[in-house]
Amino acid sequence: MIKKKKGEKGISLLETVIAVAIMGIIAVAFLSALATTSSARAINDERTAAKILAEGILENIKAEDYSPTYDAYDAVDPPEFAGYTVDVSTAVERNGNLEKITVNVYHKGYHVLTLEGYKINRSPLISP
């Protein structure tokens, strides 16, 4: 049996309840911050993957020969980007010497990213 010395007090029930409440508030704040960070990281990963995919498709289109008669390019979705779909559209500008390419990336049906670029007709002019 523990003997108390005169003037010594133990922890009261009220002090214990207050301490547990403070720890609970701290735990809720920590878990809320953790959930927000996790959600932000998932969104960032999704956008990064979409950007890599769109840039790759845009560069492949730019590497092809210039032809102002293309209405749209066929974008191939690589297997490492499962769940992502791509829509590519073009518009000819500046007397047919400039082509605007728009790449829209979707993940699980939701729009994630739009990337635009231009393709220039670099073929030399043939003079008679």
CATH entry 3.30.160 includes domain 13-120:
no
Q: How many CA atoms lie within 13 A of 55 on its CB side?
A: 6
What is the reported pLDDT for 122? 74
Residue 73 pLDDT grade (very low, low, confident, very high; cuts 50, 70, 90): low
What are the tens digits of pLDDT across the range 39-57?
999 899 999 999 999 999 8
Q: Whose CA is closest to 118, among 104, 96, 102? A: 102
Is the confidence at residue 37, as pLDDT, over 80? Answer: yes
Look up the pTM and report it. 0.68
DSSP structure string for 9-42? ----HHHHHHHHHHHHHHHHHHHHHHHHHHHHHH
Copy the structure tokens of residue 77.
């979705």
Residue bearing the bigger pLDDT, 40 or 68: 40
* Integer Cα distance of 115 and 1 in angstroms: 76
The amino acid at 41: R
- Local structure of 122: helix, strand or coil: coil
